[in-house]
Amino acid sequence: MRSANALNRQIRRVFLVILRALAVTITLYPAIRKFVEYSYRVTQFETYGIPWPELAVPVTGVIELVAIVSIGFGIAGRLGGGALAVGMVVAIVAAGPNPFSVLVLLASLGIVLLGTGPYSYWDPTVKELMSSWPINDSPTTGVWSDRE
């Protein structure tokens, strides 16, 4: 029984590293291209019907690069995975699905659900993130109570 648990932990560790590698390597080149080929990307965003494409291209590029760093280094990778997942949903809806965007969407959702795994600097669970919010259910205590 003990060896089965150890095997499961090892499989999970490898799986999480694969998810991180997929999300980072597939997203890096398109994120950089949003800056290197700015005018071409603006034209693409216009044809997809994205509002304010001149602003949407660099904002999308920055979000993707921050998500890549977050996932790659394991610094709040769940948040980076969530941001990347939202971006992939928008890309799939606007431009249609392609194998790369679908794969990045699945990898980023896996990261949101499972975390970044080994070799992470900071990988809090969703429960830990929610418990650190300054909002409390009690109307007489908490950070926001003096504003009520």
Return d(Cα 142, Cα 135) in angstroms, integer: 6
What are the residues whose beta carbons fall under 8 Å from the beta carbon of 44, sequence distance 6 or more? Answer: 95
DSSP 135: -
The 10s digit of each residue's pLDDT in 23-43 is: 999 999 999 999 999 999 999
Per-residue pLDDT at 145 exceeds 80: no
- Does residue 136 belong to any structural domain of this protein? no
Would you state the pLDDT for residue 143?
42
Number of domains in the chain: 1
- The helix/strand/coil state of 142 is coil
The 10s digit of each residue's pLDDT in 44-90 is: 999 999 999 999 999 999 999 999 999 999 999 999 999 999 999 99
Per-residue pLDDT at 135 exceeds 80: no
Return d(Cα 122, Cα 115) in angstroms, integer: 10
Q: In sequence order, what are the beta bridge partners of 75? A: 122
- Does residue 36 belong to any structural domain of this protein? yes
Residue whose C-alpha is closest to residue 73's, from 30, 116, 115, 108: 116
Return d(Cα 65, Cα 27) in angstroms, integer: 8
Q: In sequence order, what are the beta bridge partners of 122? A: 75
Say what the pTM is: 0.81
- Does residue 16 belong to any structural domain of this protein? yes
- Does residue 7 belong to any structural domain of this protein? yes
> What is the domain extent for residue 119?
2-125
Would you state the pLDDT for residue 94?
95
- Does residue 146 belong to any structural domain of this protein? no
CA–CA distance from 117 to each of 11, 111, 139 (Å)? Answer: 11, 9, 37
- Does residue 135 belong to any structural domain of this protein? no
- Does residue 44 belong to any structural domain of this protein? yes
Return d(Cα 81, Cα 96) in angstroms, integer: 20
- Does residue 143 belong to any structural domain of this protein? no
